[in-house]
Amino acid sequence: MPASSLLPRPTEAHATAGHFTLGPRTCLRIGEGAEPAARLLRTLLAPATGLPLHPADDATVTLTLDRTLTDLGDEGYGLTVAPQAVLLRAAQPTGLLRGVQTIRQLLPPPALAASPQRGVRWSLPCVEITDVPRHRWRGAMLDVARHFQPVSYLRRYVDLLALHKINVFHLHLTDDQGWRMPVAAYPKLTEVGGLRARPDGAPHGGAYTRSELAGLVAYAAERGITVLPEIEMPGHVRAALAAYPHLGNRPDRALDVWTRWGVCDTVLGVHEEVFDFCRTVLEEVMDVFPSPYVHIGGDECPVTEWEESPQARACAREAGLSGPAALHGWFLGRVGAFLVRNGRRPVGWAETGTELPDGFTVLAWRDPAHARAAAARGHDVVNAHHRATYFDYPLSDGPQEPPGQPGAVVGLRDVHAHDPVPAGADPDTAARVLGAQAQLWTEYAATPARLEYLTYPRLCALADRTWSGPTSWTDFRSRLDRHTARLDALEVSRHP
């Protein structure tokens, strides 16, 4: 396909005359450090094309690292396609991985298919590309706590993210309605917390093994994607308290895994055994997920149970706090400090932009002003404004839309117009905005087909905005119309 169809749009792309055609004799010249990119290129192209792409010193396709190309940063790349040769260069290995995805998009759409495609000429249009992302955090969150998805589907989700140069896969592993990550010291978290009753009485549940999660992390890393784990606390913990009631504020109370949506009023207690639990869980999380960031939730935490608990009130007094409500920041501060001591950066959802402790990276979802306020306080910020990034919201308000998360419609144009840097931010504040990410909460999305219908093409718009910066609506729509053929080749669902 022509370079004018690339999505996200490259920083610079100049078409030249001719094509380069890959065939059974096409080989790869693999520079030092370029082996992961060569392996990925083979892996991605083999199912449809059958091309072996063997290594050879006199090959016509060259993948190489050039550390002097510092202007390309960690993820940028340069790609030259000429009639007789292809050259992919980058300063860092991740840049080569991004370039591989561009090569995939330049090929005819059947190259993305999962089965052999006959009678296709595997040609690349001649082009000169220099490409560097605008924002360093380009994320997508998938909630597997409300509706569990098998790890095989998570790998497909990663593949689709990688095609669009998304670099953070935020995995929402725990909530009131389910706990999906095994913790050796607390087996009931998945045995009890991983299973709930559906409204019709049928069970719903599932949990990943440690091996499955580690394998997913490796799979994503091979595609240049970091898996960001999220373990919710101190609210959104009903599933954990169903497994271990003594971690709550009423240890004599038996709880089920929550079967409703919304915000549950059960929260963790503030006694030392709770912090032992949090540390143990997070130690296991850090063992499995090498991500420099660990998300610990933090939002929608009712304080009613703390206000009613003599133990929590006493804890607030001993800590010199103004009252039980202040235990929220105190709790997150303690857990965040533990992560920092272990070389990780705590991440949390922001209700106002000013309530999370120092050192937290903030996902601001309620209002763009909260992103600006958090950055002004010195937080690094990811703009996750719900009116532009919540893909569980309907795409339109038409009657063809199935029931979904109540709230504002998030149309394709809303996502495309979403600037990660909030209006009114001064240069210092803007510099703290890392980027943006999409959210797909799954109260009303249980199947892979539904997930993909909600995600695409809206994620295409977010990917374009966070990688390319502002593009005209007409330009984006023109490229998206051509890109749809790629989504069709990948069998991405267009129907709810």
Active-site residue set: 175, 236, 300
Please list, in sequence order, all residues whose beta carbon lies within 8 angstroms of the beta carbon of residue 263, skipping any fewer than 6 positions away.
235, 236, 300, 302
Reading the block at residue 119, the tokens are 């009678």
Please give the Cα distance from 203 to 350 (Å, whole number).
Answer: 33
Say if residues 229 and 291 touch (Cβ distance below 8 Å). yes
Q: Which long-range contacts (CB under 8 A, 24 or more apart) does 406-412 make?
A: 410/386, 410/458, 412/457, 412/458, 412/461
Please give the Cα distance from 295 to 363 (Å, whole number).
Answer: 10
Say if residues 186 and 174 touch (Cβ distance below 8 Å). no
353-373 b/e (C-beta count within 10 Å ≥ 16 → b): bebbbeebbbbbbbbbebbbb
Say if residues 202 and 173 touch (Cβ distance below 8 Å). no
435-472 b/e (C-beta count within 10 Å ≥ 16 → b): bbbbbbbbbbbeebebbbbbbbbbbbbbbbbbbbeebe
